Amino acid sequence: TNIDIIVNQETPSHWDVTSTPTLLDLLVSLGSHNAKFLIPDLGAELSYSPGTMIFLSGKILQHSVPKWEKGERIALVHYMKDKVHDRLKVTRPAWTTQKDILGLAVRYT
């Protein structure tokens, strides 16, 4: 797995071509900025205020953080490269579903 720390840098529009598509990337926004997080494939412009956490399949959805007006931006980005599975000869995980996530907090009867 990888953790990148991005400080005061714009993030051009891109796909994470080396990531595992079924594992969601975790992006954590820190600092004092007023940045936006763009997902052009969905036509989405999200507020990316400090304290925001985004889970995203960066290999599938194009995303970016363009220049912001004021403040400092620190982003912690956690992801796993697809080659990790190849190297360790392990099966890639299946897609997470809403039921999987809710199952951690809610018991179904």
The CATH number linked to 51 is 3.60.130.30
The reported pLDDT for the residue numbered 2 is 81
Tens of pLDDT, residues 26-40: 999 999 999 999 999
**How many domains does the chain fold into?**
1
Report the relative pairing of strands 2-7 and 36-39 from DSSP bridges: unpaired
The reported pLDDT for the residue numbered 31 is 96
Mean predicted lDDT score pLDDT of the chain: 87
Which residue segment(s) compose the domain that 24 sits in? 2-106
Interval 61-71 mean pLDDT? 95
The reported pLDDT for the residue numbered 107 is 59
76 Ramachandran zone, left/alpha/beta (phi>0; psi -120 to 50): beta
* pLDDT confidence tier of residue 8, bands split at 50, 70 and 90: very high
